[in-house]
Amino acid sequence: MSPIRLLIVDDHPVVRDGLRGMLSSDPELEVVGEAADGEEALALVGTARPDVILMDLRMPGLGGAATIRALAERGMPARVLVLTTYDSDRDVVPALEAGATGYLLKDSPRAELVRAIHSAARGEAVLAPSVATKLVSQLRTPAADSLSERELEVLTLIAQGETNRGAAARLFISEATVKTHLLHIYAKLDVNDRAAAVATAFERRLLPIAKP
């Protein structure tokens, strides 16, 4: 099998050098490029053709979440694995909503990072334990009926019969992001599936009832 092609995006040269040195020794991984910010990453991704992008979040210029969103809008197939120091809600949620496949912290052990890269390359979601705990806590204590604008957009398309893939294409987001929105919707409406979510949304007048 060909090695997994990696693009490292971080504004700190020392971090990029450290990651390259650590990961290049693995025969199953190949670092094909580095970028110091989002703009540089977008310029490189077409020629570097990475399978997985290791993305920092807080960078000068175009930040990580905005870069992830731009990649999704351009239809880039690379998976994005966030690798950052921050695990606050204001960092985690925008990154995942933008389409990140995984979210790890920079203090993760090398073995955990390598496993996460392989999982991300397969399209599997990967979350640092502290990040997963925060998200589960959010889902368990939702504000009733407080669906975000994006969640309402997703639910409206689902009510119209769209699949996850179809909703993702129409909203220019990843299918994984649609699934994340649906999980949030289920928790907020206290339901377990799509049909119940749609029915409950209509009952609570969260969605407009189509006129005959």
Q: Taking a C-beta distance cutoff of 8 angstroms, is the pair 31, 23 a contact?
A: yes
pLDDT score for 140: 52
Same fold, 4-139 and 149-203: no
Given this model, what pLDDT does residue 5 score?
A: 96
Residue type (1 letter), 155: L
State the fold for domain 4-139: Rossmann fold (3.40.50)
Res 209: pLDDT: 60
Angstrom distances, CA of residue 149 to CA of 93, 116, 146, 205 = 14, 31, 9, 15
Q: Provide the pLDDT for residue 137.
A: 62
Task: Look at residue 114 and give its three-state secondary structure.
Answer: helix
Instruction: Say whether pTM exceeds 0.75.
Output: no
What are the average pLDDT values for consecutive 10-residue runs of the chain, which has 212 residues?
Answer: 93 94 92 94 94 93 90 90 84 85 90 93 86 66 66 92 92 91 88 88 76 44
Q: Where are the domains of the chain?
A: 4-139, 149-203
Indicate the fold that domain 149-203 takes in CATH: Arc Repressor Mutant, subunit A (1.10.10)
Residues in the chain: 212
Q: How far is CA 194 from CA 15, 70, 156, 165, 181, in A?
A: 42, 28, 11, 14, 12
Hey, what are 84's tokens?
Answer: 């950052």
